[in-house]
Amino acid sequence: DVKVTQSSRYLVKRTGEKVFLECVQDMDHENMFWYRQDPGLGLRLIYFSYDVKMKEKGDIPEGYSVSREKKERFSLILESASTNQTSMYLCATTDISNYGYTFGSGTRLTVV
Amino acid sequence: DQQVKQNSPSLSVQEGRISILNCDYTNSMFDYFLWYKKYPAEGPTFLISISSIKDKNEDGRFTVFLNKSAKHLSLHIVPSQPGDSAVYFCAASVMDNYGQNFVFGPGTRLSVLP
């Protein structure tokens, strides 16, 4: 089974801090995604990557950036955290056919 | 160990017929369930949900059934249309001290054939 590991389960950061959320997958999957989950808004795609050093904006990229230096690792960066970025962040991965999404367990970020 | 399973990675159905997508879960503490639909190159969109106090919820062509004793839920689409072709995710949630925690299944790719 593909495992998708998100480095932190719960995180509390201050407004203005730079925040790194890490996602690591242990299979050779090409596609990786970052979503945020908010009550009443469902899952919203922030950024995705189809290959190393490749990134594409999703539906809500503002205030975020990403890094994919290695195939197995996809990092989400909050350049200057704000309270409206308090959310559950989910990483997901699929292989090149886009079958069989696997989600990480999520990182619940609170910005105070 | 996956807490939310969608054992069929893909499903093909003829237009006009019923599509049934299945989802099984292992954690009896889950109390809220959702279905999402995802088109290629787009983020998932919320489709329909059901609380654990109900066994059925309908919204137009979409009906979700929940069988708590079997830890099983299913999404029925009737009649199926070609525009329903997408990946469907089942998700289950439980409230903890920090809020609601969601666990997603791997998805089932539905193809509705004209």
pLDDT tens column, A54-76: 898 888 999 999 999 999 999 99
A22 within 8 A of A6, measured Cβ to Cβ:
yes
Q: Which of A39, A58, A103 is nearest residue B104 as measured by Cβ atoms? A: A103
Give the model's pLDDT for residue A54. Answer: 87
Q: What percent of chain B has pLDDT above 70?
A: 92
C-alpha pair distances (Å), B81 with each of A82, B14, B61, B106, B112: 42, 8, 10, 23, 6
Quote the CA–CA distance of B36 and A44 in Å, as a whole number: 11
Secondary structure class of A84 (helix, strand, coil): helix
pLDDT digits (tens, 9 = 90+) for B66-111: 999 999 999 999 999 999 999 999 999 887 766 667 788 888 999 9
Give the model's pLDDT for residue A96. Answer: 65
Nearest 10 degrees: CA dihedral of A23, A28, B88, B18? Answer: -170
Quote the CA–CA distance of B27 and B101 in Å, as a whole number: 12
Beta-ladder partners of B23: B73
CB spacing of A103 vs B103 below 8 angstroms: yes
The values of phi and psi at residue B78, to 5°, are -150, 130
pLDDT at A1 over 60: no
Residue B50 CB contacts under 8 Å (≥ 6 apart), including other chains: B32, B33, B34, B56, B57, B64, B66, B73
Residue with the bigger pLDDT between B1 and A85: it is A85
CB spacing of A58 vs B102 below 8 angstroms: no
Beta-ladder partners of B19: B77
**Which amino acid makes up residue A62?**
E
Residue with the bigger pLDDT between A16 and B40: it is A16
Sign of CA dihedral B62, B106, B100, A78: negative
pLDDT at A33 over 80: yes
Quote the CA–CA distance of A19 and A111 in Å, as a whole number: 10
Average pLDDT over every residue of A73-80: 96
pLDDT at B41 over 70: no
Q: What percent of chain A has pLDDT above 70?
A: 92
CA distance B44 to chain A (A): 6
Which chain A positions have a beta carbon within 8 Å of B87's beta carbon? 98, 101
- Residue labelled with tokens 């490749």: A54
Supply A46's token pair: 């922030």
pLDDT at A2 over 60: no
CA distance B22 to chain A (A): 14
